């Protein structure tokens, strides 16, 4: 474990876990959902709004911040926390997801992933060493190893190549990492092939990273295919260290992840859906452009303490989206982040009290879903 990071496992309920992650910028109660701030901002929300909504840890991205404004500029401005005025913990993704999402504009071999910038066409060479150096310049509390994230449906032969490369890059990241106030997490790949995941997890565990992530989910497989592999894959990870499921996701998928033993989640859905007039609620999603909200004086949720629900009606939010006013996406994004934070607080209480399975079943039933 990094000199300044420590994970405590406080309680379990079946495979579900209740923990606490200590970082240089504060303590994080787990299981936790982390809003995504790819470009040093969680879209549409100020740091004060995020904190008020209950967020305690957020994400930044190596690839995007290296391109603009540049990791050295952020370093010279005092690091990512000071640059974006967020005082809590930050986790930075290494750019491995862009190996998947920007496949048409990159080339990859064992040495590096080379990207053609989506901004100006310039080349960005991302070696494991460079990915670590960027994250050290950013000064995040948790940095991620560079990995290769292949899409679902990749051939068995190439999936083995991606796992081998992920292991090679993890070793190089570990050798390159120097910051003692930053924890470096490794990423287990292998798609839906549990044998490959077991091999990847075994070799990474032997390197004794302070935390481990499951990558390569939510990249084209069905929810059923992910669910079939997630539990056994989580069991491959060390019990005493934090477990992170990358890029997931929907509320029902988060609950499935907790049931499998996952501690940390991230996804763009709260703000992406907020920008597109969709609100998460305990009774299921609301589409705020729908005419049924035109004269509705009720808040999105009567028991939600977020700023949006305390001050504004569904009718007003409906109006904002029809008028294409930017306040609409902001207010809905704020509520959605608060929804996820409240959901995770309820999850933590349920695990502590030994009733997580009941909580999950009741939540899914309210959303019209089954486990």
pLDDT category of residue 17 using cuts at 50, 70 and 90? very high
Phi, psi dihedrals of residue 316, rounded to the nearest 5°: -65, -45
Instruction: Give 284's contacts (C-beta < 8 A, 6+ positions apart).
Output: 366, 367, 368
Write out 121-162 in H/E/C secondary structure: CCEEEECHHHHHHHHHHHCCCEEECCCCCCCCCCCHHHHHHH
What Cα–Cα distance (Å) separates residue 168 from each residue in 127, 128, 148, 224? Answer: 11, 9, 10, 30
What mean pLDDT do residues 287-310 have?
A: 98
169 vs 119, residue with greater confidence: 169
For β-strands 183-188 and 142-144, DSSP reports them as parallel
User: How remote is the C-alpha of 233 from its chain's centroid?
Assistant: 18
User: How remote is the C-alpha of 82 from its chain's centroid?
Assistant: 21
For residue 296, indicate whether it is catalytic: no
pLDDT category of residue 369 using cuts at 50, 70 and 90? very high
Q: Which CATH number fits domain 6-267: 3.20.20.105, 3.40.190.10, 3.40.720.10, 3.30.1490.440?
A: 3.20.20.105
User: How remote is the C-alpha of 236 from its chain's centroid?
Assistant: 20
Domain positions in the chain: 6-267, 276-371
Instruction: Give 212's contacts (C-beta < 8 A, 6+ positions apart).
Output: 185, 186, 187, 188, 201, 204, 205, 237, 238, 241, 242, 243, 244
Q: Do the beta carbons of residue 333 and residue 43 sit within 8 Å?
A: yes
Instruction: Give 161's contacts (C-beta < 8 A, 6+ positions apart).
Output: none
Tokens of 317: 């939010």
pLDDT category of residue 227 using cuts at 50, 70 and 90? very high
pLDDT value of position 371 = 73
Does 153 have pLDDT greater than 70? Answer: yes
Catalytic residue among 93, 147, 193, 253: 93
For residue 193, indicate whether it is catalytic: no
Measured distance CA(146)–CA(138) in Å, rounded? 15
Does 90 have pLDDT greater than 70? Answer: yes
Q: Tell me, yes or no, if the pTM score tops 0.95.
A: yes
Tens of pLDDT along 18-67?
999 999 999 999 999 999 999 999 999 999 999 999 999 999 999 999 99
Q: What is the DSSP letter of 235?
A: H
Catalytic residue among 71, 147, 193, 266: 266
Does 100 have pLDDT greater than 80? Answer: no
Tokens of 294: 């035109």
């Amino acid at each position: 474990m990094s000199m300044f990071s420590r994970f405590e496992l406080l309680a379990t309920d079946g495979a579900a876990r209740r923990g606490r992650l200590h970082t240089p910028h504060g303590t994080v109660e787990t299981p936790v959902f982390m809003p995504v701030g790819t470009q040093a901002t969680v879209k549409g929300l100020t740091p004060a709004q995020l904190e008020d909504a209950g967020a305690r840890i957020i994400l930044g991205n190596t690839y995007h911040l290296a391109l603009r404004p540049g990791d050295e500029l952020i370093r010279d401005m005092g690091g990512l926390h000071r640059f974006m005025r967020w005082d809590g913990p930050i986790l930075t993704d290494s750019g491995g997801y862009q190996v998947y999402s920007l496949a048409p504009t990159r080339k990859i071999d064992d040495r590096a992933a080379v990207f053609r910038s989506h901004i100006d066409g310039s080349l960005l060479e991302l070696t494991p060493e460079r990915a670590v150096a960027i994250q050290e310049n950013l000064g995040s509390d948790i940095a991620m190893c560079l990995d290769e994230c292949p899409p679902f449906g990749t051939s068995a032969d190439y999936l083995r190549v991606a796992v081998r490369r992920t292991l090679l890059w993890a070793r190089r990241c570990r050798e390159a990492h120097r910051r003692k106030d930053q924890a470096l997490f490794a990423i287990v790949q292998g798609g839906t092939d549990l044998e490959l995941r077991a091999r990847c997890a075994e070799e990474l565990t032997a390197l004794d990273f302070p935390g481990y992530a499951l990558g390569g989910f939510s990249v084209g497989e069905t929810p059923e295919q992910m669910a079939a592999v997630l539990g056994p894959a989580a069991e491959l990870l060390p019990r005493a260290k934090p477990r992170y499921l990358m890029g997931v996701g929907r509320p029902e998928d988060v609950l499935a992840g907790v049931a499998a033993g996952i501690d940390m989640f991230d996804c763009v859905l709260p703000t992406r859906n907020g920008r597109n007039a969709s609100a998460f609620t305990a009774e299921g999603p609301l589409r705020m452009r729908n005419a049924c909200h035109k004269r509705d004086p009720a808040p999105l949720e009567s028991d939600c303490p977020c700023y949006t629900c305390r001050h504004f009606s569904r009718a007003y939010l409906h109006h904002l989206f029809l008028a294409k006013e930017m306040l609409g996406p902001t207010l809905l994004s704020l509520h959605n982040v608060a929804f996820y934070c409240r959901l995770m607080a309820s999850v933590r209480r349920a695990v502590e009290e030994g009733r997580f399975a009941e909580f999950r079943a009741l939540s899914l039933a309210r959303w019209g879903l089954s486990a």
